Amino acid sequence: MAYIATIEEENKEIAKRYRAMLRITYQTLSKKDKLQIRKAFETAVDAHKDQRRKSGEPYIFHPIAVAKIVANEIGLGATSIMCALLHDVVEDSDDYTFEDIERLFGETVARIVNGLTKISRLKSDQKVSIQAENFRKMLLTLNDDVRVILIKIADRLHNMQTMEAMPQHKQVKIASETLYIYAPLAHRLGLYNIKSELEDLGLKYTEPEVYNDIFAKIKESKEEQNKYIKEFANSIKTSLNKENFSYAIKGRPKSIYSIRRKMRNQNVTFDEVYDKFAIRIIYSSELSQEKFNAWKIYSIVTDNFNPNPNRLRDWISQPKSTGYESLHITVMGPKGRWIEVQIRSERMDEIAEKGYAAHFKYKHSGESESGLETWLNKLKETLENPDVNAVDFVEQFKLNLYAKEIYIFTPNGDIKSLPKGSTPIDFAFAIHTEVGMKCRGARVNGKLVPLGSELKSGDQVDIITSNAQKPKLSWLDIVKTARAKSKIKTILKEEQKQIANDGKEVLGRKLRHLKITLNEKTINELVSHFKLKTSHDLFYRFGNGSIDNQQLKNFVSQRSNAFYSFFKNRIKRNKNDELVIKNDEVTNKYDLLVFGKDEEKLDYKLAQCCSPIPGDKVFGFVTVSDGIKIHKQNCPNAISMQSQFAYRIMTAKWIDSSQQEFKVLLKLTGIDNEGLVNRVTQIISNNMHVSIHSLNISSEEGVFEGKIVVGIKNNDQLKKLLGRLNKVEGIDKVLRLNK
């Protein structure tokens, strides 16, 4: 419906909305605060006086609405309310600059408004990498002030609430972006109500028919829900009153988005989703008695209704890292229906509703760093890592947004919170980067376990370290947390740089023997000949032995002026000063497809429906008559194939063949002497960059026999290793066995 109003009516409405915003502020505002907010409001009215929204409404309605969300739903104070009112002033008006904002409102307000303006200037693009870079830039504002992100979430919420006038393709794009990053971010900052509303509105525009269908059914069942909640409350009111509790019992309907997710994940209809709402008991309590009273109410509820022992969630003894505290139980309620009951104090409820803002309202001086602050600090650390590209960053960031948490004990009894699915390596990096880097093994509840083992809540983990240990490439497939992934990638990059430096020297020596000078022209030819992307790739492969002498000789025999002439116009330097070939046929680092846990090489064909390319996330599908077909994980047919023919799905992934390891069994025999094992492992691990998978050495009457399984990248590397081991004092013979 089009917006129509006179100027007089508009002015009255603007004043009315402004007063309503001030009336419901969460924080207490002083007289000075109100004067500054008024000044910000008048500045915004002046800056936006000639602007209209797509609906035809005066633009000033938008900043007032954002300020209202900031003031009441997020619960921030005067500075944030001012910033919300001013957030589009510099961007949309030629009359105001950042210098004007700083002069009028001070440095803090100007800095936050500047952060919000930077975000609004990010250009939208369909390319994933550019979108990812935009999100990264947006999140970098956390380094300045977390209020920038909180106000941006409020801005996004109001935009989502008022998208009707936009064209459909823009609605879908903005809604998808909201579901991709803003809703998870709101969740992680403890803004559960806003998270739910963003998800529901996202669904409204991405799947309108589904949204409208569930919305209508929830509306139909509202009366029945209220009746059920009243029946439940009447069953326990007498017991609660007897204990002199001051309390409220409310119903909390599940969001449309979460009902949709349940219907999809469990493959059930709307009527078959049994927990479409929860019952919340909110009680008044002194801080010192909160925990005691929560369990007292738990006792009253379970005296009246049988609990499901597998559905108890105690986030009071150990709050979530977002600061969320509550006791959740599922009981068999009236009419034989399972119902979730949430027990929380008024303080806990306020933190659950307001998240970050309430957390600081209740924070006591001298209190140790909270989980939420720890998470924000770790996020800042990731943001500041220059070696992580934008796509990796967003993937890493999202890992820790919705992840369910487990709680792990250190040997001293301290607790660390980690995402569900974490491994001992994640735990090691959570303790300290140095501990993660040197992690050689782990004891879980006193027993040695593989580093890839999944940890369970309540496990006590003791990390075994060694100065000789270094992170391995295979760890990236094991770890769950963004922190661990980021640190491992950075360390491996440094190690690769060192191997590449060594490789450059090796290449120089080999070329001198062949009477060829190592210069830019030769490097260009070599990079082209081996179908690589950069000079770094070339040097790295010579460093780890992937390119052997015969391959180099083959290059020399094919070398000609014509070869160089063909490629000379297709060479440039990238920002790292590495030589790059502009050649469509050159493959990227993913040049080999492997299948299953053992990374087998099998014959395959690429599916036409989704046209996967090296580097895509893929899976194999065993067809009836055409062998293995490779599909992208987000292929339009993927859901159908995986649900109907799961037994024919094979895991597959693209790898860099120069990084691939092949397990080789070596047998060593000789005369035992002190320090022999240490010298053998040093040669393998430190000097040759080879990983040891298993080691078994026995000695009898001065003669030893050992069997070692090592990870070898190629035959040339194996020959070098055998040569070096044969030179160790005491070793008589080294043989390669066929297992």
User: Which residues are identified as catalytic?
Assistant: 91-92
Give CA–CA dist 427/415, Å, rounded: 11
Contact partners, residue 34, CB within 8 Å, separation at least 6: 22
Contact partners, residue 69, CB within 8 Å, separation at least 6: 84, 154, 157, 158, 194
Task: Say how many CA atoms lie within 13 Å of 698 toward its Cβ.
Answer: 2
E strands present in 200-336: 247-253, 277-283, 313-314, 327-333
Q: Report angle CA 318, 323, 329 to the nearest 5 degrees.
A: 55
- What distance, in Å, lies between the first and last C-alpha atoms of the chain? 76
SS (H, E, C) 635-667: CCCHHHHHHHCHHHEEEEEEECCCCCCEEEEEE
Letter string b/e over residues 161-185, b meaning 16 or more CB atoms within 10 A of that residue's CB: ebbeebeeeebbbbbebbbebbbbb
Tokens standing for 31? 């007289």
Between β-strands 662-671 and 703-712, what pairing exists: parallel, antiparallel or unpaired?
antiparallel
Amino acid identity, position 52: R
Contact partners, residue 428, CB within 8 Å, separation at least 6: 435, 436, 439, 442, 463, 465, 484
Q: Report angle CA 295, 301, 302 to the nearest 5 degrees.
A: 90
Put the strands of the sheet holding 439-444 in their side by side order: 447-449, 439-444, 461-465
Can you name the residues that pair with 565 across neighbouring β-strands?
A: none
Amino acid identity, position 724: R
Backbone angles phi, psi at 103, to 5 degrees: -65, -40
3-class DSSP assignment, residue 443 = strand
| DSSP label of 388 | S
Give CA–CA dist 615/655, Å, rounded: 8
**For residue 68, with 0-12 CB atoms within 10 Å meaning exposed, 13-18 middle and 19 or more buried, which class applies?**
buried
Give CA–CA dist 652/595, Å, rounded: 4
